[in-house]
Structure 1
Amino acid sequence: MLSKHEYDILELPPDDHIRFSLKYRKALYFISQAAIWAFQLYFLVRLLLVITTPQQTWQIWLMLLVEYIFARIPRHDQFLTVSASKSGQSRPRDRLRLLGNDHLPRVNVLIPCCGEPTDVVLDTVHAACSMDYPTIHFRVLLLDDGASNALRDAVASLRSQWPHLSYHTRGQQSGRVFAKAGNLNYALFELQPEAQPEFCAVLDADCVPKSDFLRATLPHLLRDPQAALLTTRQYYYNLPDGDSLQQSRAHFYTCHNSELDRMAAAIDAGSGAVFRRKAIVDVGGYPTFSFSEDWQLSLMLQGLGYRTLQVLEPLQFGLVPSSLDGHIAQRNRWQLGHSQQPSVLFSDANQAIPRHLQWSITFNGVLIILGLVGYMVGFAAVPILFASGNLIPASSSLIVQIQVVLAVLHVALTWTHGLVQAAHTGFRIAPFAHLENSWLASTHILAIIRFHCVSNKPKGSFVTGSSANSWNRMMELSKYKKLRKDLLNNGLLYSVFLFFAILSTFLLSFYGALSSDYAAGSSTTPQTLLMTLLTTVAWPPMLHIAYLALSNLWIPVAYLLQRPEHPERRSRMVTHATGIFLPREDVQMKLLQHSLPPLGYLNHYILVPVVLITIFTIAVTM
């Protein structure tokens, strides 16, 4: 049907994987509510028992802290689901298309780059110039902070075919701090054509847009005058099979940001963003107090009353770093950006930002970094807890029973929520995907400490995942040097140590409980043995946390055993009749795989109800 707005906007049927997933919405809402109340009851009872127990030990306090650490993100997701379900947006964002060729809004497509390989940048430029949109209504601006003569000459030769393409540079900016934000602000404030566009789009140098990118994104902003920015999910066409390093960011896009989108508070993920130029100019352009300029821009816009949206359609295809070095460098950059958020309070350049918004941005950054600290402490504490003895107050069997029953309820609802949340996305994601790359927490904290306390000249130019960049040149090293670099420089040695420490202390703790019972002989009753197991190695939250820790720390172990093969990008692309390189159709379809029927990764959940029912039965019959 056509909208009644000024522009002709066509509403397309929803994608099948989104339509099928909607049937889980009510279940997800009620399970989220139940999980929230169960945890609050459980944690309150646990806290009261820990405070009042005569057996005050550091183990029971540490166990309580670690339980809270690993419950924090699922609870955040649950609260998001509840809040989003009460908002006006009751279902995923519609698929819209802007029709016609006359009187369309003017758009500047900004492509910032800085040192990426010329062929990578030109693929993006070609696809951007060839988008299905009248050339008199949009321009493509290549913003080159690398001052590349090859790019300048290539653009000059292309202008006869695409007169709406232009090349701009501020000179050599490679390695400068906040280069991308400064580059985009250069386009917004210093490049002054006769008529400024109403909208701007931003594409990373290695993100190729589909031909209908503008027609699919602009209608959402045209329909909602209060919407200042729309971000699109990034799909990566060079992901290795299985995505062993969790580079797709599936949880962020399909769980976290999708719920925020229902509340018109989505977070911009960088490439593929479209925004109202006036709104961005009015807030002072892209913020330069943090590397994560896209994240901070979203917070600023929301704090000033604007709406920010997300579209899950596959409208752009980018590259992930093809080495562990590149992956860690990219993730470190994001976390460094969050660690810089408190600096918004202290720079004169940020005086235009209202004080309440400065504090909001600061708290957001502090909470994110505390989350990293939490995971670092949580993973390290698991083997200590397994080896330490009683983990909960156990002054009587009744006290243990109460805690075990509530713990089983809490853990069961946590797993149920993870299962239904995965099914609700409509995409294939792993259970507890919110923990993606949590095994890198200690690496991020070390990078933050080095950045703020050691480095004199911080680098701000982290630009692409292309194998041509220096951090992806490990393929030139010998196997021994690769292994040494990964173990020592990239922190894998610590992760591998933790993995085997957790596994060994779990087995030793279980063996220790059984062997102590055997040594005690007839003086120990089966009830005493069960009490010992339930308060140590078989404590339900401890088993749950051990599963989370081992499944995530297994990622670097598996990486060392078999490094993932990132396909060469050209092997995933095909030349279209217009000479544009785009990912092949089969590659695009693979990125849109549906969940495994009917509810996702069921094999991860087979033993959980058996274990929980067994523990519950033992507890209530002691």
Structure 2
Amino acid sequence: MGGTQTLAVFSSAELKWRNAFFLIDVLCKCIDDPEAYDFLHKLTDIVPSYLKALLESVIFLNGTWKPRLRILGDNVPAVDVIICCCKEEIDVILDTVRAALNTDYPNNRFRLIVSDDGAQRQVQDGVERLKKQYPQRNLYYTAQIKTTDNNHKSGNLNHAFGYVATLPGGPAPFFAGLDADMIVDRKWIRAQMPHLLLDPQMAFTCPPPTFYNIPVDDFLSQSLYVFQRFEEVIKDRTGLPGCTGSGWIMRRAALEDIGGFPSKSLTEDLLCGMMLLGKGMWHGLILAEELQWGMAPDSYHKHVQQRRRWSTGTLQAGLLMRLCLFGERARHLDPWQRLFGFIYLFMTFTASLAVVEMFSSMLLFATGSTNIIYTDIEQLKLLVRVAAINSLLGYVRLWQVALLSCYSATCKEMSGIMFMTPYFAYDHWKTFLLPKWLGGRPNPFSAKFVASGSIVDELSERSAKLRAPLYLRLKSVLFKDGAIFHVLVAMVFIIGLVLNVQRAYHLHPDDAKDFRLYLLTRILWVPPMWPFLIATFLKPVWYCLYPPSMPDREEFLTRDSTGLAYPTEDAKQTRYTGTGFGLEILDTLAVCYTFSVLVSTWWW
């Protein structure tokens, strides 16, 4: 038996290293062969991006909005609501419990279970106090006995799923989940239940996650506006809605059909939703309503950790779902679901190739090389026109997204994805490629993670009174979180910009036309990306120098005499002043420049 286990471990490790060396070999060959690299870049980045934009545009123009419904009265189905917590701040947890207890739903149809993965005495005592304050409500506390198999959020959810079956009356037909920091609207169940009752095959409904502590101008793009207001709407219209972690209500029979919450992905909610859809008999729904408000990470470190976890979890889910193309879990997906599932999951895989593309662009820019090849001025004009029209169509696409999510948020989201890509790639390497002695994770399909709300903020970087000195903030962001890489990338582009101008003066000191053409094909091509890249990769330093100053959490809330608290109307809205790092200004200037260059080609 021991020999079999050893062989299995060896085979698994050997397969992991073969995959790693195969990927490295392919990338090296592509770097040596520019044509192969160009083909790989188009195949893995440009084609999926353009296909995604085209399909989303079709769905955007032809889809319909779901109606807003409410179930009335007391003749309603029973619901078991689970609040999962794991060492978050006690005040945050108890505010979530109070808001859930204040849900507009009959007492005999509603049970609230606080499932405490941290097994904190403070949480248990707080729940006991609230049980006395709300004697008419069915409030329970439970904490599982941790093992290596259940030491993650999905394990906590599965524990609660089994726990409610032991309560008097047995389990309710519907099972709902809330994150520890999510304060829900009183009507959150009444808003979702009609959709579940009208369609017996509706497995789950889910409102988007929204936040009440987003800084003005949302420098790190934490509002998720593009995700909530555009991407989730599009996926819902294609029949591929996501179950996004909190506020969902699920049919218990559907969850039993897939054996409970999956435990092999950091994003158990995403994988759970896809597995339900893959069964064929179930589908889901995203509600375009704000029914819950939580707390976005309040430090750079927490933000990076959360986004890395989401990206790697999506990659894990993609592998387990076989990119929604084949396999038992995707067996019953329809063609639209397969196509969109493949595109969304595959684009997560391209983070590593995007980093290779980044190094390639840096090398071309710094050395003054160009990939703009032409034989005469007419060919160059044609290339400029094609590039300009393509760029302007991209700007139209940006406005299509902005119609639902806001222009500033859309511009910042593009920048946010770009500056997070190196983090995504590194986390993918740690999870799937690197050995343990190089920081790799022993189990690539582990669902264990540290909740961002439980990470201690030692720098208090968003508190004007308690903020750590600048050198400590720089040390943390640049070295602990690895943003020194971003600074080096920005510096390469800045130095490359200076060198290109110097070369142009040196090579064409007396010919203004050749001087302009030299710069056009190197640093002024349409659209010029270096201003956007420099601004994006200097974000960490800018954040250290000018962190947003946020008030205490209590100032975002209105609290009554019983301790019940809800976010203020102002706190629910993310405000944009247009002066935040100027990324939306850069996008606007870039499109103006592109249009002017396009027009000028008829006068060269």
Q: Which residue of 2 aligns with 1:486?
A: 477
Q: Which residue of 1 aligns with 2:100?
A: 128
Instruction: Output the CA distance in 2 between the equivalents of 1:581 and 1:556.
Output: 34
Q: CA deviation at 1:410?
A: 0.4
Does residue 505 in structure 1 map to residue 478 in structure 2?
A: no
- Is contact 1:63–1:385 with CA below 8 Å preserved after alignment? no
Structure 2 CA distance for partners of 1:483 and 1:425, relative to 1, 3 Å: closer
- Is contact 2:532–2:583 with CA below 8 Å preserved after alignment? no
Q: Which residue of 1 aligns with 2:252?
A: 277
Secondary structure at 1:167's aligned position in 2?
strand
Deviations 1:249-282 (A, max 9, x none): 2211112111112233221220111111111111
Structure 2 CA distance for partners of 1:284 and 1:216, relative to 1, 3 Å: same
Q: Which residue of 2 aligns with 1:167?
A: 141
Q: Show the 5 A alignment for 1:100-139.
A: 100-101=73-74, 103-139=75-111
Q: Which residue of 1 aligns with 2:124?
A: 152
Secondary structure at 2:362's aligned position in 1?
helix
Does residue 615 in structure 1 map to residue 603 in structure 2?
A: no
Count of aligned residue pairs for this structure pair? 544
Q: Which residue of 1 aligns with 2:459?
A: 474
Deviations 1:4-39 (A, max 9, x none): xxxxxxxxxxxxxxxxxxxxxxxxxxxxxxxxxxxx
RMSD (Å) for aligned C-alpha atoms: 3.5
Structure 2 CA distance for partners of 1:157 and 1:605, relative to 1, 3 Å: closer
- Is contact 1:238–1:568 with CA below 8 Å preserved after alignment? no
Deviations 1:65-84 (A, max 9, x none): 48984785465234223135
Secondary structure at 2:69's aligned position in 1?
strand
- Is contact 2:218–2:576 with CA below 8 Å preserved after alignment? no
Q: CA deviation at 1:516?
A: 1.7
Q: Show the 5 A alignment for 1:97-496.
A: 97-101=70-74, 103-160=75-132, 161-162=134-135, 163-172=137-146, 179-192=152-165, 193=167, 194-305=169-280, 306-341=282-317, 344=320, 353=329, 367-387=346-366, 388-425=368-405, 429-431=409-411, 433-452=413-432, 453-454=435-436, 455=440, 460-462=447-449, 464-466=451-453, 469-475=454-460, 479-496=470-487
Between the aligned residues of both structures, percent identity stands at 26
* Aligned residue identity for 2:145: G
- Is contact 2:90–2:122 with CA below 8 Å preserved after alignment? yes
- Is contact 2:221–2:412 with CA below 8 Å preserved after alignment? no
Q: CA deviation at 1:296?
A: 0.7
Structure 1 residue runs without a partner (length 5+)? 1-55
Structure 2 CA distance for partners of 1:583 and 1:154, relative to 1, 3 Å: same
Secondary structure at 1:241's aligned position in 2?
coil
Instruction: Output the CA distance in 1 between the equivalents of 2:589 and 2:140.
Output: 59
* Aligned residue identity for 1:318: G
- Is contact 2:84–2:117 with CA below 8 Å preserved after alignment? yes
Query: Aligned match of 2:564 in 580, 583, 586?
Result: 580
Instruction: Output the CA distance in 2 between the equivalents of 1:57 and 1:158.
Output: 67
Deviation larger for 373-382 or 318-327: 373-382
Structure 2 residue runs without a partner (length 5+)? 1-31, 461-466
Deviation larger for 227-236 or 64-73: 64-73
Structure 2 CA distance for partners of 1:606 and 1:312, relative to 1, 3 Å: same
Deviation larger for 289-298 or 214-223: 214-223
Secondary structure at 1:508's aligned position in 2?
helix
Instruction: Output the CA distance in 2 between the equivalents of 1:105 and 1:595.
Output: 45
- Is contact 1:437–1:552 with CA below 8 Å preserved after alignment? no
- Is contact 2:321–2:330 with CA below 8 Å preserved after alignment? no
* Aligned residue identity for 1:112: C
Q: CA deviation at 1:190?
A: 4.7
Whose RCO is larger (CA < 8 A, sep 6+)?
1
Secondary structure at 2:346's aligned position in 1?
helix
Instruction: Output the CA distance in 2 between the equivalents of 1:602 and 1:343.
Output: 35
- Is contact 2:215–2:548 with CA below 8 Å preserved after alignment? yes
- Is contact 1:66–1:381 with CA below 8 Å preserved after alignment? no
- Is contact 1:146–1:172 with CA below 8 Å preserved after alignment? no
Instruction: Output the CA distance in 2 between the equivalents of 1:61 and 1:619.
Output: 30
Structure 2 CA distance for partners of 1:494 and 1:436, relative to 1, 3 Å: same
Q: Which residue of 2 aligns with 1:42?
A: none
Instruction: Output the CA distance in 2 between the equivalents of 1:315 and 1:423.
Output: 21
Does residue 559 in structure 1 map to residue 543 in structure 2?
A: yes
Secondary structure at 1:375's aligned position in 2?
helix
Structure 2 CA distance for partners of 1:395 and 1:273, relative to 1, 3 Å: same
- Is contact 2:76–2:109 with CA below 8 Å preserved after alignment? yes
Instruction: Output the CA distance in 2 between the equivalents of 1:369 and 1:437.
Output: 11
Structure 2 CA distance for partners of 1:246 and 1:70, relative to 1, 3 Å: farther
Instruction: Output the CA distance in 2 between the equivalents of 1:595 and 1:117.
Output: 31
Instruction: Output the CA distance in 2 between the equivalents of 1:362 and 1:90.
Output: 20
Structure 2 CA distance for partners of 1:576 and 1:291, relative to 1, 3 Å: same
Deviation larger for 203-212 or 307-316: 307-316
Structure 2 CA distance for partners of 1:472 and 1:380, relative to 1, 3 Å: farther
Secondary structure at 1:540's aligned position in 2?
coil
Deviation larger for 269-278 or 453-462: 453-462
Deviations 1:492-516 (A, max 9, x none): 1111121222233134324422442
- Is contact 1:141–1:166 with CA below 8 Å preserved after alignment? yes
Q: CA deviation at 1:133?
A: 0.8
* Aligned residue identity for 2:458: R
Q: Which residue of 2 aligns with 1:16?
A: none
